[in-house]
Structure 1
Amino acid sequence: MNNKNDCFVHPSSYVDEGATVGKGTKIWHFSHIQKGAVIGENCSLGQNVNIANNVKVGNGVRIQNNVSVYEGVELEDNVFCGPSCVFTNVVTPRAHFPVHGVYAKTLIKEGASLGANSTVVCGHTVGRSALIAAGAVVTKDVQDYALMAG
């Protein structure tokens, strides 16, 4: 982690050894940044946010309350993740057949916004400045500047 004076981490949150948090970033209540995660500068992570191992979060990203960003997901600069939005990282999740670290890649490009309670199914790309409506489920790639609802 960077110098503690460079960022704010609420005392109820954990930043694991080996994670990197950029200057000016704020991590609020009950959040967890796991080993190998890289959080850019000037980000805001709300209450109860989990950033999994090896996740990359760009600069200026806003992640609202109750969001888990799982391994295999990358958020480019200035992405907005609304409250309780969901990412997946396994194409065919099964309790009897764990994937042991083999995750589908999901890319959320610069300036994209994901509405509250939206879901991005793994293996897809959400284009630059695209807007995913609240509650929408993304099941295919989204073009730059597109609006997706439903």
Structure 2
Amino acid sequence: MTHYQHPTAIVDPGAQIGAGSRIWHFVHVCAGARIGQGVSLGQNVFVGNDVRIGDHCKIQNNVSVYDGVTLEEGVFCGPSMVFTNVYNPRALIERKAEYRPTRVRKGATLGANCTIVCGVTIGEYAFIGAGAVVHRDVKPYALMVGVPARQVGWMSTYGEALDLPLEGSGSATCAHTGAVYELVDGHCQRR
């Protein structure tokens, strides 16, 4: 099985695209990009050369995934969310050698219009709310909102809020799946 590519999409020779992926209207995928299986690239998405996108990611309309960004399996990028790759850009100063890598771990959600400042790691199954600005690493399962983003809770792998304190210890059960989550020393983990 091959991937689907809309006639208006541009995929540069050399790009690797996994089976079952869908590339929609006006997408541009650069030659060095590595895209997994079952990925969806919405309208007007740009994927740079030094980009890795894991299996089953969904990248909604108007997202640019710039060099230095790695998305692990099952990452959701909401409409018009933003990645950066230079911390202090200037039009008149070349800084391509200063790209800071950004990693988004398995299952994380990046809400519509949020901004991920380069050089951070977003933990697995973290949930970044719409419009948030992330400039520091995010813990696994953390729910982040605001400008700058701050943690306000925890999320299950199903994408529902967990009744856990932000710090200390405790446990909670996901109402949808029955999975149990534990908070130990300020870190959430699924049992």
TM-score w.r.t. structure 1 length? Answer: 0.95
Would the aligned equivalents of 2:50 and 2:69 in 1 still touch at CA under 8 Å? Answer: no
Runs of 4+ in 1 over 3 A off after TM superposition: none
Q: In percent, how many aligned pairs have the same letter? A: 55
2:36 maps to amino acid: G
Checking the alignment, whether the CA contact within 8 Å between 1:107 and 1:125 is kept in structure 2 is yes
Task: Kindly provide the CA deviation profile for residues 36-83 of structure 1, in whole angstroms up to 9, marking residues without a partner as x.
Answer: 100100011100000001200000000000000000110000000000
One-letter amino acid matched to 1:122: C
The two structures, once aligned, show a CA RMSD in angstroms of: 0.8
Partner residue, 1:40: 36
- Give aligned pairs, total: 146
CA distance in 1, matches of 2:81, 2:67: 15
The answer as to 2:131 corresponding to 1:135 is yes
1:115 match: 111
Offset at 1:101? 4.2
Which blocks of at least 5 consecutive residues in structure 2 are unaligned? Answer: 147-191
The structure with more strand, counted as a fraction of residues = 2
Residue of structure 1 equivalent to 2:73:
77
C-alpha distance in structure 2 between counterparts of 1:68 and 1:143, whole Å = 24
Task: Determine which structure has more spread, i.e. the larger CA radius of gyration.
Answer: 2
TM-score normalised by structure 2 residue count: 0.75
Q: Distance in 1 between matches of 2:70 and 2:97?
A: 16
Deviations 1:16-43 (A, max 9, x none): 0110000000000000000110010001
